[in-house]
Amino acid sequence: MKALLVGEYREGKLLESTYELVGFAQKLGCEFELFLVGTEAALPQVNAKLYLADVATVGEYNPALHKQLILDAVDKANADTVVFLHSSSGWDLAPRVALALGAAQLSEVVEIKGDGYLLPACNAKLRRTVKAATGKSVITLQAGAFMPAEQSGAPQVEKLTTSTPAQSEFLGYEQAEAGQVDLGKAEIIVSAGRGVGKPENVAMIQALAEALGGEYGASRPVVDAGWAPHDRQVGTTGQVVSPKLYVACGISGAIQHLAGMKKSEFILAINTDKDAPIGEVADVLVVADIKQFAPALTAKLAG
């Protein structure tokens, strides 16, 4: 087995997730080479062959071009497996590459299992073991599921170019509007999930956060529903946090949320469902209705 690892680069920087791909290949014990659309100024520190396409020429988001360059690299590396991170870049590119290679795609791999892989299903309530039925395969890895490799060494760079026509035009990046609060710095965060039931109940979570001397946060559905502002969102598309205490209120534990908070020192979860995936990362799981538990805890802390 030989893998081509597709590194990630954004706005002048190599993304740390690139080392998770290397960590995965090392865990699998397979030969690997890397591919990156980036610059010579931000190369991954890995002792391996690196196929490098110049971001200034091919653009940071130009899937038709990136696909062709990756296919060229697969050919040169004689790779049978292409590995992406399951990210906004990875899930956009991986199916294109899989189709062109006639390969199976295994999305959001969380573990290696025998000669197959484990994938989450139904909001991480279940796990599927799958295997490619094709000679070649394309894999995307769940963010944070594999330990990043140590950063050491220097790649042997081979440059790639393409003249494939573009199908879409990249107009630029936009930062979501900056908020008032930086959850990354908070030592205590109390977050509201869908289980709080209705917008008015977010105030109850806010009150508990104040009683504990911390900030309140929210899961994606709560923010999407407009019950809390975006700067309060914890998760891969919001903020990644690591407070001393994280209190997850009525949060079932979708993968994207877990990825944003699982490095917290101590995690207290309150959920009516004893089997909720949040129990996988929590230190303490209180099986209770948050609408009863939060006010009771707030009152006790105040009293």
Partner 1 sequence: MNILVCIKQVPDMESRFKVAASGTWFEESDLAWRINEYDEFAVEQAVKLKEQLGDADLTVLSIGPARVKEALKKALAMGCERAVNIVDPAAAEKDSFQIASSIAAFAKDKSFDVIFTGMQSQDRGSGQVGVLVAELLGIPVLTTAVEFEYTDGSITVRRELEGGLRAAVKASTPALVTCQLGLNTPRYPTLPNIMKAKKKELLEIPIGELLKDEARLTTLALAYPEKKGSALVLEGEIGELVDKVIGILKEKTSVL
Burial class, 139, CB count within 10 angstroms (exposed 0-12 / middle 13-18 / buried 19+): buried
Closer Cβ to partner 1, 33 or 105, answer by number: 105
**How is residue 35 written in tokens?**
């591919």
Residues 115-144 close enough to bind partner 1 by CB under 8 A:
116, 119-134
Q: Which stretch binds partner 1 (CB under 8 A): 31-39, 50-58, 200-208, 268-276?
A: 268-276
**Selected binder of partner 1 within 39, 92, 197, 242 (CB under 8 A):** 92
Residues 1-60 close enough to bind partner 1 by CB under 8 A:
10, 60
* Amino acid at site 44: P
Closer Cβ to partner 1, 75 or 289, answer by number: 289
Residues 6+ apart with CB under 8 A from 206: 190, 216
Burial class, 251, CB count within 10 angstroms (exposed 0-12 / middle 13-18 / buried 19+): buried
Closer Cβ to partner 1, 57 or 170, answer by number: 170
* 296 forms part of the interface with partner 1 (CB under 8 A): yes
- The values of phi and psi at residue 299, to 5°, are -60, -45
Residues 213-242 close enough to bind partner 1 by CB under 8 A:
213-214, 220-221, 223-224, 230, 236-240
* 147 forms part of the interface with partner 1 (CB under 8 A): no
* 66 forms part of the interface with partner 1 (CB under 8 A): no
**How is residue 79 written in tokens?**
């790779």
* 103 forms part of the interface with partner 1 (CB under 8 A): yes
**Rg for the chain, CA atoms, rounded:** 21
* 94 forms part of the interface with partner 1 (CB under 8 A): yes
Q: Which stretch binds partner 1 (CB under 8 A): 21-29, 46-54, 152-160, 174-182?
A: 174-182
* 189 forms part of the interface with partner 1 (CB under 8 A): no
Picking from 20, 19, 13, 16, the residue whose alpha carbon sits closest to that of residue 37 is 13
Instruction: Judge whether 217 and 189 are in contact, CB under 8 Å.
Output: yes
Instruction: Judge whether 67 and 160 are in contact, CB under 8 Å.
Output: no
